[in-house]
Structure 1
Amino acid sequence: MEEILMGALFSRRTVLAAIDVLESVSTQAETSALFIEFGPDVYRQLRSDGFSVKKRMNDLKAFVDANPEQQVDGGLLENVLVERAVRHMPSEEPEYPWSEPVTLHPVYIPLKHALAQDDYVVMAGKLRRTLPEDIGMPQLQSEMTVLLDRHGFTTAKGHLDQALDAHARGQWASANGQLRNFLDSVLDEMAGKIDPSAAVLASGQPRRTKLAAAGFLSVALNEWDNDGRGFLNGLFKRLAPAGPHPGLSEPDDSTFRLHVVLLTAALLLRRFDAWGRA
């Protein structure tokens, strides 16, 4: 699995979920062996042989947070932990066409959903990307957090955090609703900052029309169309085709919504960050 042995490729959420999986499948002896394998720098700080596996794995979480650049045999510790956890995930494919569907044990579900946020799926015990490598979803999420904080978009950030949490828990309808709220809020707050007169307008189309009038959204590039035929017009329709309808969304659809909203919002946030400085 050479592709994951380079830089940090996973979000903190994914790494922590991976450690939870390792905790669930490890004995005391196996935990000690794992820490020894990671080398003396890790083992010296995580020895704690008299404590429970849970306590030792919690210490590992704290160690990873404090040492994000820690290298071990095989590459970056964060990546290796995820790779090790993925080895334990059973296949969801039925053994035979007539077999009963496979249901994952609950301990694997958070890791599966967190990997999907990072644009990975597990196939036959190996990680496969769902998006091109250079998109870098974990890095993109980190960049967006910085930009949301920088410009005081606290409401939008709250919606994004709730969307990611709901997606990680497999609450698809809730995640979908928060993703739409997030994109709504980002555009509303941008409109109010670029044109203060937009603050008195209703949320949604009136404020996006202001953004287009200011030149922030490109009519020429079909990003926005006052008659509803632009990219963002279509995206909002796709995010809510006929109301939220809780319970109807599937994991693939929710993950698609997550990725397209994050990519779109990242583009707009970078543009807003440079607005007025060009």
Structure 2
Amino acid sequence: MRNIPFTRPTLIAANEFLADALKTHTQVNKIVLRLGLEDEVPPGNSLGIEKKVDLLGRLVFSRGADVVDTIDGKATLVEAFVRQAVEHAAEHSQEWHQSTFVRGLARDGYVIIWGKDREPNSLRIALPEEVDLPAADDEVRLLLKHFGFATSLSHLDQAVEAHTRGDWAAANAQIRTFLEGLLDEIATSIDSTKAQSLGSSENRRAMLAGVDVGFLGTKRNEWSPDGKSYIHGLFKMLHTEGSHPGLSTEDQCTFRLHIVMVTVRMLLRRLRQGKA
């Protein structure tokens, strides 16, 4: 079975997006036909448009990994659904360009190519497929729950919520707090007495790189006493200068979230495997 390439918040946003964008039963019925769901969604007006789209969304959530035939070839139902939402995005509307749906796609590693001269909008992968951010998000959340890292999970949820509403300053702060808190919780899980005796998060990160723990590798340049390591550089990059309007701030915030999620997945996998 193929992985679902979008996170749940993005799919919810796509469904809400279509509920606002579709104004006629004909528009809804066209999407239903393209997705091969005409037997499950009634074609007439016995259901209102919003209820039809709600039903459509529920079918996508329950059968998202099913493979369907589309104009562009075979795709999972969830992929075809999201691409239909992308095609219906208003071409020149700044409101849609800054919508929760578009931000969700960016968070999942996708970008919309906005159509011109009657060309349809299209969806492109913005990162290598190996990164697979939706799968990383699922795995990170499962591992946080597995280890009982409730505080870190809460900070991750707050970071995603802030990103979803476009509050870049709050998202940046929560992303950094998430990473810092996670490393604290990892140190505590390895040696709670020693971790609690240390006075700062920086000291607990140094503990993780100590020869007696070896969770962070000095030979891999993950940590170094002189502060010139990957972890040091990552924390410096996560220090934001504050909230500034414009797309560049959104891009920077999304990049911070992406790189932290990839890093955290590696660290949690390492903790699960008991390897340094």
Structure 1 window deviating more from structure 2 (170-179 vs 80-89): it is: 80-89
The answer to whether the Cα contact below 8 Å between 2:90 and 2:96 also exists between their aligned partners in 1 is: no
The answer to whether the Cα contact below 8 Å between 2:3 and 2:135 also exists between their aligned partners in 1 is: no
Given the alignment, which residue of 35, 38, 50 partners 1:43?
38
The answer to whether the Cα contact below 8 Å between 1:7 and 1:76 also exists between their aligned partners in 2 is: no
User: Structure 1 pair 55/241, CA: closer, same or farther in 2 (3 Å)?
Assistant: closer
**CA distance in structure 2 between the aligned counterparts of 1:131 and 1:38, rounded to whole angstroms:** 26
The number of residue pairs the alignment matches comes to 258
User: Structure 1 pair 146/250, CA: closer, same or farther in 2 (3 Å)?
Assistant: same
Describe the SS at the equivalent of 1:271: helix
Deviating above 4 A after TM superposition, structure 1's stretches of 4 or more consecutive aligned residues are none
**CA distance in structure 2 between the aligned counterparts of 1:25 and 1:106, rounded to whole angstroms:** 10
Offset, 1:106: 4.9
Aligned to 1:95: none
CA deviations over 1:220-277 (Å, ceiling 9, x no partner) = 11111223111101110110155xx24467111101101111111111111011116x
Aligned to 2:117: none
Q: Unmatched 5+ residue regions in structure 1?
A: 1-5, 93-102
Offset, 1:7: 5.1
User: Structure 1 pair 107/219, CA: closer, same or farther in 2 (3 Å)?
Assistant: closer
One-letter amino acid matched to 2:39: R
Given the alignment, which residue of 28, 33, 43 partners 1:31?
28
**CA distance in structure 1 between the aligned counterparts of 2:196 and 2:48, rounded to whole angstroms:** 55
User: Structure 1 pair 130/202, CA: closer, same or farther in 2 (3 Å)?
Assistant: farther
Describe the SS at the equivalent of 2:16: helix
One-letter amino acid matched to 1:82: V
Given the alignment, which residue of 186, 189, 199 partners 1:202?
199
Describe the SS at the equivalent of 2:130: helix
**CA distance in structure 2 between the aligned counterparts of 1:70 and 1:49, rounded to whole angstroms:** 27
Aligned to 1:123: 113
Aligned to 2:219: 220
RMSD: 2.2
Aligned to 1:171: 167
Aligned to 1:84: 84
The answer to whether the Cα contact below 8 Å between 1:184 and 1:203 also exists between their aligned partners in 2 is: no
**CA distance in structure 2 between the aligned counterparts of 1:130 and 1:107, rounded to whole angstroms:** 16
Offset, 1:107: 8.4
Identity level (%):
36
CA deviations over 1:3-35 (Å, ceiling 9, x no partner) = xxx753222222222222222232123213322
Aligned to 1:100: none
Q: Is 1:160 aligned with 2:136?
A: no
Q: Is 1:264 aligned with 2:263?
A: yes
The answer to whether the Cα contact below 8 Å between 2:223 and 2:229 also exists between their aligned partners in 1 is: yes
One-letter amino acid matched to 2:271: F
The answer to whether the Cα contact below 8 Å between 1:21 and 1:107 also exists between their aligned partners in 2 is: no
Q: Is 1:57 aligned with 2:53?
A: yes
The answer to whether the Cα contact below 8 Å between 1:91 and 1:123 also exists between their aligned partners in 2 is: no
Offset, 1:198: 0.3
One-letter amino acid matched to 2:104: A
Aligned to 2:234: 235
TM-score normalised by length of structure 1: 0.85
Describe the SS at the equivalent of 1:113: helix
**CA distance in structure 1 between the aligned counterparts of 2:201 and 2:77, rounded to whole angstroms:** 44
Given the alignment, which residue of 105, 109, 120 partners 2:95?
105
User: Structure 1 pair 241/117, CA: closer, same or farther in 2 (3 Å)?
Assistant: closer
